[in-house]
Amino acid sequence: MSRAAVPGLPSRHPIGAQLPALYADDDFAQRFTAGLDTVLAPVFATLDNLTAYLDPRVAPPDFVAWLASWVAVADDPGRPLERRREAVVRAVELHRWRGTRRGLVEGLRLALGVHAEVTGDGGAAWSAAPGAGLPPESPPGPLVRVWPDPGADAPDAGRVHDIVRALCPAHTVCRVEILTGPPAPEGR
pLDDT tens digits, one per residue of 141-185: 889 999 998 888 888 899 999 999 988 887 788 899 999 888 887
On whether residue 168 sits in a domain, the answer given is yes
DSSP state of 150: T
Is residue 56 domain-resident? no
Q: Please state the domain count of the chain.
A: 2
Q: Which pLDDT value is given to residue 47?
A: 87
The overall average pLDDT reported for the chain is 86
9 or 188, which is more confident?
A: 9
**C-alpha to C-alpha distance for 38 and 15, rounded to whole angstroms:** 10
Whether residue 109 is found in the same domain as residue 41: no
Q: Which domain holds residue 30?
A: 18-48
Tell me how many degrees the CA angle 67-69-70 measures, rounded to the nearest 5: 65
pLDDT tens, position by position, 100-140: 899 999 999 988 889 999 988 766 677 788 888 887 776 67
User: How many Å apart are CA 59 and CA 42, to the nearest integer?
Assistant: 16
Question: Do residues 107 and 37 both lie within one domain?
Answer: no
- Say if 67 falls within a structural domain: no
CA distance 167 to 27: 64
Sheet of 143-147: strand order equals 115-119, 143-147, 175-178
Tell me if 93 is assigned to some domain. no
Whether residue 4 lies inside any domain: the answer is no
